[in-house]
Amino acid sequence: METIPAKHLLHRNRDTQWFGTDHTMNIYRGCCHGCLYCDSRSDCYRIEGFDTVRAKADALRILRDDLARKARPAFIATGSMSDPYNPFEGEMRLTRHALELIDAYNCGVAIATKSGLITRDIDILTSIQNHSPVVCKITVTTTDDALAAKIEPHAPPPSRRLAALEELAGAGLFAGVLLMPVLPFLEDSEENVRGVVEGAAQAGAKFVYPALGVTMRQGQREYFLDGLERAFPGQGLKARYLRQYGERYQCASPRAGELWKAFTAACRERGILYDMKSIIRAATRGYGDRQLTFF
């Protein structure tokens, strides 16, 4: 695999509002899932050849040094710009070894992924959760495998992701679903949103956190809209998006209000958390004064 240089692996977050994490780590750069909507493809991130996965050179040594410099244990998010369980991880095991370091330095971790490979590391995640918060976030935007294959063409199907979620929850890990994005005109139906909540509940999810719309900006917008035309020929989705949103960045579903009502009702019926403060409180409960640090 091609590597790229890096000076640091840990980067401090501006705030802790995103699942309580105070640092971010991306051990890989780029992604091969090919999701049409991926915000990380935007020009502002300056990732050339985004569809090619590259590893950070000497990543584990750099991470070890970064962790050793921390005055107090960090709560580290990973998966924001690149899936830490991309297909190459099965052989390279960089994410697994990074988790071993995170465990050794008594840090917590919040992982976002579309891959079932995360279940390989249940042993380490369980060890981390013995001393620090662990949040496993599985992205599921629809339970329809056929639809997902068009909008997330190289990612594992939602059925596999929900099976992974069930394994994580069954192991006692704090795990749930990122219901984001919910694509306008394709996924923004009450049936789809309720279906994801129900699938998550059946798998034992503690939470479902939504974004009832999509983002579009330079670089990403063109890829997304052209991809819709190829995946759904003859439906006029590109023209419909341009009429509805133009060059807007935040593109909420026109049905966001009614979807939110249906979503929250479904979560309450199944006893699933859905607001960020409640999720953070639940994830950090039992870790002493650390649970107050992550707000």
Query: In this structure, is residue 87 part of a structural domain?
Result: yes
Query: In this structure, is residue 161 part of a structural domain?
Result: yes
Q: Find the CATH number of the domain harbouring 260.
A: 3.20.20.70
Query: In this structure, is residue 210 part of a structural domain?
Result: yes
pLDDT (tens place) for every residue of the chain, 295 residues total: 799 999 999 999 999 999 999 999 999 999 999 999 999 999 888 888 899 999 999 999 999 999 999 989 999 999 988 999 999 999 999 999 999 999 999 999 999 999 999 999 999 999 999 999 999 999 999 999 999 999 999 999 999 999 999 999 999 999 999 999 999 999 999 999 999 999 999 999 999 999 999 999 999 999 999 999 999 999 999 999 999 999 999 999 999 999 999 999 999 999 999 999 999 999 999 886 554 444 4
Torsion, Cα 9 11 17 21, to 10 degrees, reads 40
Query: In this structure, is residue 25 part of a structural domain?
Result: yes
Query: In this structure, is residue 292 part of a structural domain?
Result: no
Contact 36, 227 (CB under 8 A): yes
Query: In this structure, is residue 101 part of a structural domain?
Result: yes
CA separation for the pair 43, 55 (Å, rounded): 20
Q: Identify the pLDDT of residue 287.
A: 87
Token pair in block for residue 8: 């640091």
Q: In what order do the strands lie in the sheet with 3-4?
A: 3-4, 54-56, 28-29
Q: Identify the pLDDT of residue 46.
A: 86
Q: Identify the pLDDT of residue 290.
A: 55
**Contacts made by residues 50-54, CB under 8 angstroms, sequence distance 24+:** 52/2, 53/1, 53/28, 53/29, 53/82, 53/86, 53/87, 53/88, 54/1, 54/2, 54/3, 54/4, 54/28, 54/29, 54/30
Q: Identify the pLDDT of residue 119.
A: 98
Contact 75, 21 (CB under 8 A): yes
Query: In this structure, is residue 294 part of a structural domain?
Result: no
**In terms of DSSP bridges, do strands 54-56 and 28-29 run parallel, antiparallel, or are they unpaired?**
antiparallel
| Residue 117 domain boundaries | 3-284
Q: Identify the pLDDT of residue 264.
A: 98
Q: How many domains does the chain have?
A: 1
Query: In this structure, is residue 295 part of a structural domain?
Result: no
Residue with tokens 């190829």: 230
